[in-house]
């Protein structure tokens, strides 16, 4: 069987951390409010590094872990909604920074599902035989999209990057997938690009910042993610006991509790790190993979489900085997 073997994972986050208590010095909020509603206590914030710089630092760590020469990289996909520029793509900037001059590089935007979508795309390129390997990264400087006077959004997000390196092989990789989109609910979460974008009717959308109907996103995530994971499992003969972790997008611990309850699975089956990182959008799942890789937990044969949900609306689940 031709497969996209996952050879390494890695991540990078900016050094500077901001606690809930520190945030409450700038905006009317409290550690108690944020932590009890989201499970978030800290987030990393870029002090000037842009998205491509976080992505390139993660990329260097991933390639080193994979023992891969940058000149051998054939494909780079960066999932992001906070790229340095509209064009050039963040992936092209990463290509230049790491010296991967033989690669094809492009960005993919599917918000917090972006890494899941990007990994699915890279898997198809590799399995088709077009490319022998791929570097897939999720990277965001979400804090540059935030209005720090809007307490309902600015307390939720953080910055970071993570990713994986895939090589064409015979085992493991993406065993099953389920992807979906609902553009009819697009106005639930917007990051404005230009003044002609009139999709959103919320007052806060008059500003060039991320704006979100938090309750609608919450309900969507708890409704659609368990369905997506169930459909994914229906495509395999595996049981949940044969899956080591489910790694959902790290938006909110209450969303993850809701997903666990609907799937009748114990909470400790779900990997959670939003306590330290907040919601890093497309970077959240690969940061988790990078952490598990560094801990030596993603050994040959280990299976995990990654499950993204976010703006678009978009959602997607992949069953991965290392
Ligand atoms: N501190 C203190 N009070 C606050 C804060 C804050 N930071 N933010 C809002 N409040 C207030 C509100 O003003 C409101 O006050 P009111 O009742 O007097 O009007 C009250 O707290 C309750 O607000 P709710 O919106 O009802 O709070 P809720 O329990 O729904 O939690 C939250 C809000 C955390 C945003 C939740 O809805 C959520 O997590 N939604 C999902 C968001 C998400 O996951 N988004 C990311 C998707 S990822 C992507 O694609 C980029």
> 252 vs 17, 19, 257, CA distance in Å?
18, 16, 9
Mean pLDDT over 279-297 rounds to 98
Catalytic residue among 112, 154, 200, 205: 112
pLDDT of residue 201: 60
pLDDT of residue 1: 84
Mean pLDDT over 228-239 rounds to 98
Catalytic residue among 50, 133, 252, 279: 279
**318 confidence band (pLDDT: 50, 70, 90):** very high
Sign of the dihedral defined by the CA atoms of residues 64, 70, 72, 74, in that order? positive
Q: How many Å lie between the centroid of ligand 1 and the Cα of residue 10?
A: 31
Cβ–Cβ under 8 Å, residues 249 and 112: yes
Residue whose CA is closest, atom 47 of ligand 1? 310
Q: How many Å lie between the centroid of ligand 1 and the Cα of residue 218?
A: 9
Q: How many Å lie between the centroid of ligand 1 and the Cα of residue 7?
A: 38
Residue whose CA is closest, atom 15 of ligand 1? 152
Chain segment 211-223, per-residue pLDDT in tens: 999 999 999 999 9
Q: How many Å lie between the centroid of ligand 1 and the Cα of residue 39?
A: 12
**194 confidence band (pLDDT: 50, 70, 90):** low
pLDDT of residue 202: 60
pLDDT of residue 219: 96
Beta bridge partners of 279: 157
Residue 249 catalytic?
yes
Between 51-66 and 284-294, two packed helices, what is the crossing angle to 10 degrees? 30
**208 confidence band (pLDDT: 50, 70, 90):** confident
**C-beta 217 within 6 A of ligand 1:** yes
Residue 279 catalytic?
yes
**193 confidence band (pLDDT: 50, 70, 90):** low
Q: Is the pLDDT of residue 106 over 70?
A: yes
Mean pLDDT over 240-264 rounds to 98
**C-beta 311 within 6 A of ligand 1:** yes
* Homologous superfamily of domain range 1-322: Thiolase/Chalcone synthase (3.40.47.10)
pLDDT of residue 191: 87
Ligand 1: nearest atom to the Cα of 249? 48
pLDDT of residue 207: 65
**C-beta 152 within 6 A of ligand 1:** yes
Q: For the chain, what are the domain ranges?
A: 1-322
pLDDT of residue 166: 98
Q: How many Å lie between the centroid of ligand 1 and the Cα of residue 214?
A: 6
Q: Is the pLDDT of residue 147 over 60?
A: yes
Cβ–Cβ under 8 Å, residues 230 and 178: no
**295 confidence band (pLDDT: 50, 70, 90):** very high
Q: What is the pTM of this model?
A: 0.95
Q: Is the pLDDT of residue 197 over 80?
A: no
Nearest residue to 165 (alpha-carbon basis) of 286, 270, 249: 286
pLDDT of residue 12: 98
pLDDT of residue 192: 76
Q: Is the pLDDT of residue 204 over 70?
A: no
Q: Is the pLDDT of residue 18 over 60?
A: yes
pLDDT of residue 107: 98
Secondary element (H or E) of residue 43: strand 42-44
């Amino acid at each position: 069987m031709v497969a996209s073997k996952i050879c390494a994972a890695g991540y990078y986050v900016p050094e500077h951390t901001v606690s809930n208590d520190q945030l409450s010095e700038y905006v009317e909020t409290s550690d108690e409010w944020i932590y009890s509603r989201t499970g978030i206590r800290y987030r990393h914030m870029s002090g000037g590094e842009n998205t491509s710089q976080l992505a390139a630092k993660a990329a260097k760590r991933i390639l080193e872990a994979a023992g891969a020469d940058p000149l051998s990289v054939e494909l780079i996909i960066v999932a992001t909604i906070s790229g340095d520029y509209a064009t050039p793509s963040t992936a092209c900037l990463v290509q230049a920074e790491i010296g991967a001059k033989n690669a094809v590089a492009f960005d993919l935007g599917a918000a917090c599902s972006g890494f899941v979508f990007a990994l699915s795309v890279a898997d198809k390129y590799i399995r088709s035989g077009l490319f022998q390997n791929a570097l897939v990264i999720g990277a965001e400087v979400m804090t540059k999209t935030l209005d720090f006077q809007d307490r309902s959004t600015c307390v939720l997000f953080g910055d970071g990057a993570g990713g994986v390196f895939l090589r064409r092989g015979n085992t493991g990789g993406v065993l099953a997938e389920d992807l979906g989109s609902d553009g009819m609910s697009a106005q639930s979460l917007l990051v404005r690009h230009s003044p002609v974008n009139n999709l959103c009717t919320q007052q806060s959308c008059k500003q060039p910042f991320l704006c979100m109907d938090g309750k609608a996103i919450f309900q969507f995530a708890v409704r659609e993610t368990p369905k997506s994971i169930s459909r994914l499992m229906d495509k395999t003969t595996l049981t949940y006991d044969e899956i080591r972790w489910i790694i959902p997008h790290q938006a909110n611990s209450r969303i993850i509790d809701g997903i666990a309850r609907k799937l009748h699975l114990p909470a400790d089956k779900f990997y959670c790190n939003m306590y330290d990182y907040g919601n890093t959008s497309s970077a959240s799942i690969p940061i988790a993979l990078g952490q598990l890789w560094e801990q030596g937990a993603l050994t040959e044969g280990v299976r995990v489900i990654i499950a993204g949900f976010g703006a678009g609306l978009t959602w997607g689940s992949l069953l991965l085997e290392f």
